[in-house]
């Protein structure tokens, strides 16, 4: 590698069950812990690192909630909120129908019973959601919801590290039909009790990304279109992009056609390459992104792009408090993990 100084030893989490591949990894890092969650069959599994991602514990089972939504950016999510470790997933007895949450207050040694976040049963059955925490005990979740018969973005808010949740609230509904039906939303904490959500809209046949602000369980802004161009498409691309926040700055990453863009709210988009399924974070003032292109994985640090791995899918990336970023993805039934650093680190 040239500009990327990746860890000399890439970590692998082997396939847990012979008949079920490890799928849809998601990362979070805070308070000296890196958490990795993923799905395998009907199981939600979690591995942790306490040495900046140099090694991970053997995966433990968080829950086996029945049919688990996996694939196309579905799958479990993980956040670290003060003393709580929170894992969410869309699951159900016969179909992935509800957004469920599990809490651990002892660093993952034990887990609560499932808490249903959507207050209308089966309304979260599309299985696409996001969760974020601000580090001060405030947690939010957003998801694609069908309670009103058309696809809308709903949310819920917790002020006690996920122990209890607000009444669900409508985040956004398109004026002339559904929002994009199969693109995952993204969510990031921006201040104490404040969050920004990104979703793919469907207006006048255009499948563009929009940003909306939430505060203390309420919508705090109008939805704002991202970028200056539009994507006229009579289909769902099943790709909702990614969202990051650092030092008062929101950065978004998303796809239009085969082009990938970075954009800040209110500013024109910048093309960074070709591909899909982009993941994004900011660490040390530098932007890190990982995406798929033709079956391979590409990575970018501050505008410099090169191949990260010859094969992989559905990457996740998180900033490390000690510098750089950690990336994870699924490949042939296993989860692969690697550090991303630049050559000035």
The domain spans of the chain are 35-294
Cα-Cα-Cα-Cα torsion 34, 35, 38, 40, nearest 10 degrees, comes to: 110
Task: For residue 243, give the H/E element and its range.
Answer: strand 242-246
Q: pLDDT tens, 249-264?
A: 999 999 999 999 999 9
Q: Rounded to two decimals, what is the model's pTM?
A: 0.95
pLDDT of residue 222: 98
Quote the tokens at residue 260: 């990938």
Mark 226-264 as b/e (b = at least 16 C-beta within 10 Å).
bbeeebebeebbbbbbbbbbbeeebbbbbbbeeebbbbe
Q: What is the DSSP string of 71-109?
A: BTTBS-EEEEETTEEEEEEEEESSSS-EEEEEEESSTTS
| Residue at token pair 């039909």 | 177
Rounded CA separation 96/238 (Å): 17
Alpha carbons within 13 angstroms on the beta-carbon side of residue 149 total: 0
pLDDT per residue as tens digits for the range 74-110 = 999 999 999 999 999 999 876 668 999 999 999 999 9
Q: Tell me the CA end-to-end span of the chain in Å, nearest whole number.
A: 14
Residue 240 sits at φ, ψ, to 5 deg, of: -95, 0
Tokens of 267: 């500013």
| Beta-carbon count within 10 A of 209 CB | 27
The CATH number of the structural domain formed by 35-294 is: 2.120.10.10
In which residue ranges of the chain is pLDDT below 70? 1-9, 94-96, 342-345
In this prediction, residue 152 carries a pLDDT of: 98
Q: What is the pLDDT of residue 215?
A: 97
pLDDT in tens, 20-46: 999 999 999 998 999 999 999 999 999
What is the per-residue pLDDT for 95?
67
Query: Taking the CB of residue 167, how many other CB atoms lie within 10 A of it?
Result: 8
């Amino acid at each position: 590698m040239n500009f990327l100084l990746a860890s000399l030893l890439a970590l692998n989490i082997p396939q847990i069950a012979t008949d079920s591949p490890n799928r849809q990894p998601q990362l979070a890092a805070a308070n000296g812990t890196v958490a990795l969650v993923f799905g395998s069959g009907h199981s939600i599994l979690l591995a942790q690192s306490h040495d900046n991602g140099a090694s991970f514990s053997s995966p433990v089972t968080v829950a086996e909630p029945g049919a688990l939504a996996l694939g196309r950016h579905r799958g479990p999510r993980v956040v670290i909120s003060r003393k709580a470790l929170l894992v969410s997933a869309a699951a159900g007895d016969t179909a992935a129908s509800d957004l469920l949450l599990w809490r651990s207050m002892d660093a993952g040694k034990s887990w609560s019973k499932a808490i249903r976040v959507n207050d209308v049963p089966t309304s979260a059955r599309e299985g696409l959601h996001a969760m974020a925490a601000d580090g001060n005990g405030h947690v939010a979740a957003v998801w694609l919801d069908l309670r009103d018969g058309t696809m809308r973005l709903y949310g819920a808010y917790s002020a006690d590290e996920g122990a209890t949740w607000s009444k669900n609230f409508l985040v956004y509904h398109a004026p002339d039909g559904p929002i994009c039906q199969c693109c995952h939303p993204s969510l990031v904490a921006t201040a104490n009790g404040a969050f920004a959500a990104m979703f793919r809209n469907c207006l006048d046949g255009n499948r563009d990304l929009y940003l909306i602000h939430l505060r203390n369980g309420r919508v705090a802004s109008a939805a704002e279109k991202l970028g200056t161009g539009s994507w006229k498409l009579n289909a769902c691309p099943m790709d909702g992009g990614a969202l990051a926040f650092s030092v008062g700055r929101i950065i978004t990453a998303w796809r239009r056609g085969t082009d990938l863009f970075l954009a800040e709210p209110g500013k024109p988009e910048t093309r960074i390459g070709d591909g899909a399924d982009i993941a994004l974070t900011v660490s040390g003032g530098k932007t890190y992104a990982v995406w798929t292109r033709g079956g391979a994985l590409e990575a970018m640090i501050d505008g410099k792009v090169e191949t990260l791995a010859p094969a992989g899918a559905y990457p996740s990336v998180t900033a490390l408090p000690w510098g750089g970023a950690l990336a994870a993805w699924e490949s042939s039934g296993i989860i692969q993990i690697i550090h991303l650093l630049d050559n000035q680190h």
